[in-house]
Amino acid sequence: MPSSQGEKDLEALRGQIRAVTSDILKKVQERMVLAEQVGEVKSRLGIDVKDEKVEQEIRQMVIKQAGETGMSIEFALRLLNVLLSESEAVQEQKRPQQNNKAPRQTHLGIFQKAKQLEASGRRIIHLEVGEPDYPAPAQAGSALAESFAQKKYHYTDTRGIPQLREAIAKKNRVGEERVMVTPGGRFAVFAAIASLVRPGEEIIAIEPAWPAYRECADFIGARTKVLKTTLESGWTPDLKELESMITSGTKMIALNYPNNPTGKVLDKKTMDRIVALAKGHGLYLLSDEVYSDYSFKPFESVHAYGYDKGVIVSSFSKTYAMTGFRVGYAVASADLIKKMAKVQAVGVTSVAEPVQLAALAALGADPSRNVELMKRRLRFLSGKLKEMSLRFVEPDGAMYVYPELHSGGEDMQLVERLLERGVAIAPGSGFGDSYRRFVRISACRNEKEMEKGLAIMADEVRKAR
């Protein structure tokens, strides 16, 4: 029993807090029921779940109300983002069964299906995945073997062995304290988002986009706002729109040039303006540059801007065809690297020492033949897609072409028909909800194999007309 007046007051206040919490929960539940109904209507109308404009309107309303009532705007936006993410999840759940549309799949989903088919004895032409067929540098293999002979297979510093960090630092003209070796570029992306963005905060992704930025944000309970780009605009982001999306809840912009899936490289002026926007608003700029060596026009790393909130992600997977080695790295300020290293320490301890030694050896190899080969293959692939009269933007780099199907065509229909005929390609919608009429074809197989796969694709495209 409360005795003093102070204790009685405390108990009374706690009672009120319990009542308010209960009211909030009831209201949240009311909101979820409404969201479910919205989901059903959208599904019936065949409308995308995500609607940036509507989201922006409600965000503005929340900013206004929080400002008027003296509530922290950042906190109000975090709460709103949690609600938005939940209702989006509810709406997505309703979707596939009601719409008669095939559920959204990513290129990895198709890759797994293709692998299963192969395991059951089918032959599959892989045009879905960004995994080059040429070999990793011989030096990398020798280094692996040597590491075993010399018993160099122990835990290392979380950020990587000094020799490799120094070599990467030298390449990027920074100190080694600004480098962390990661298990693939993917983990560098995860470590950046997990350490720099809090649940309920926002990142901006420019779609079509490799799905990992959104997936990482989802995983930690952050919200992804999507800036859509179009084939018509040559996949160039509208910077006014980008600026209008930034609120006090926005913490990061994720960039990926050369781009997966479009092959786009932004011109310098556009990059200058994006960096200026990030600087002006104090946003982290996550620049995924894993395809930077595969750029067929001048490419300038975000690193060159010397922005202290920039995080550059790179990888050995594509340049040196070392996908299965699982080794990449991040370059950022020493302070950000420290934060990211905490995620890596918790999740993986360090990258395997033999793999780091192999990566170090690979840095001594010349990747220019790989780059030339990819360029030739992309030209070949583009030529074949032109013969099919498909519209696309010629890639400036990376390993893919992202054509639009003729009107009426849906990505998953073509993807599934092709898989039945032994050809795997990636559905466009895996790179963003609005791209159901696109597919991604990768140029990671030799021309002979691509030709076979593309002949089957041409046949299916013709039939669908």
Residue nearer to ligand PMP on the CB measure, 210 or 296? 210
CB of 256 to ligand PMP, least distance (A): 5
DSSP letters spanning 58-118: HHHHHHHHHHHHT--HHHHHHHHHHHHHHHHHHHHHHHHHHHTPPPP--HHHHHHHHHHHH
The answer to whether residues 208 and 229 touch, using CB atoms and an 8 Å cutoff, is yes
CB of 316 to ligand PMP, least distance (A): 7
The answer to whether residues 126 and 444 touch, using CB atoms and an 8 Å cutoff, is yes
Give the bridge partners for 253, in sequence order. 204, 285
- Residue 413, helix vs strand vs coil: helix
- Residue number of the CB atom closest to ligand PMP: 184
Helix-, strand-, coil-residue percentages of the chain, each rounded to 5: 55, 10, 35
Long-range interactions of 40-47: CB distance < 8 A, separation 24+:
40/94, 40/98, 42/91, 43/91, 43/94, 43/95, 43/98, 43/99, 44/98, 46/99, 46/101
Residue nearer to ligand PMP on the CB measure, 250 or 317? 317
Binding residue for ligand PMP (CB under 6 A) from 200, 310, 328, 453?
Answer: 328
Residue nearer to ligand PMP on the CB measure, 247 or 292? 292
According to the binding rule CB under 6 A, does residue 250 interact with ligand PMP?
A: no
According to the binding rule CB under 6 A, does residue 292 interact with ligand PMP?
A: no
Positive or negative CA dihedral for 43, 44, 47, 51?
negative
According to the binding rule CB under 6 A, does residue 147 interact with ligand PMP?
A: no
Instruction: Tell me the backbone φ, ψ of residue 224, rounded to 5 degrees.
Output: -105, 125
Give the bridge partners for 314, in sequence order. 329
Residue 204 tokens read as 């901006």
CB of 317 to ligand PMP, least distance (A): 3
Only one of the segments 221-229, 301-309, 315-323, 454-462 lies at the binding site for ligand PMP (rule: CB under 6 A); that segment is 315-323
According to the binding rule CB under 6 A, does residue 185 interact with ligand PMP?
A: yes
According to the binding rule CB under 6 A, does residue 87 interact with ligand PMP?
A: no
Binding residue for ligand PMP (CB under 6 A) from 158, 315, 319, 429?
Answer: 315
The answer to whether residues 234 and 264 touch, using CB atoms and an 8 Å cutoff, is yes
Residue ranges in 53-72 that form contacts with ligand PMP under rule CB under 6 A: none
Going by C-beta distance under 8 Å and a sequence separation of 6 or more, which residues neighbour residue 240?
Answer: none
User: How far is Cα 24 from Cα 26, in angstroms, rounded to an integer?
Assistant: 5
According to the binding rule CB under 6 A, does residue 186 interact with ligand PMP?
A: yes
Binding residue for ligand PMP (CB under 6 A) from 317, 356, 382, 429?
Answer: 317
Going by C-beta distance under 8 Å and a sequence separation of 6 or more, which residues neighbour residue 145?
Answer: none
Only one of the segments 39-47, 70-78, 180-188, 331-339 lies at the binding site for ligand PMP (rule: CB under 6 A); that segment is 180-188
Query: Which residue type occupies 147?
Result: S
Residue nearer to ligand PMP on the CB measure, 143 or 286? 286
According to the binding rule CB under 6 A, does residue 325 interact with ligand PMP?
A: no
According to the binding rule CB under 6 A, does residue 323 interact with ligand PMP?
A: yes
Binding pattern to ligand PMP, positions 194-233, x when CB under 6 A? ----------------x-----------------------
CA angle (216, 220, 226) in 5-degree steps: 55
Binding pattern to ligand PMP, positions 255-274, x when CB under 6 A? -x---x--------------
CB of 321 to ligand PMP, least distance (A): 11
Residue nearer to ligand PMP on the CB measure, 81 or 315? 315
According to the binding rule CB under 6 A, does residue 289 interact with ligand PMP?
A: no
DSSP 404: B
According to the binding rule CB under 6 A, does residue 295 interact with ligand PMP?
A: no
- Site size toward ligand PMP (CB under 6 A) is 13
Binding site residues, ligand PMP, CB under 6 A: 130, 184-186, 210, 256, 260, 288, 290, 315, 317, 323, 328
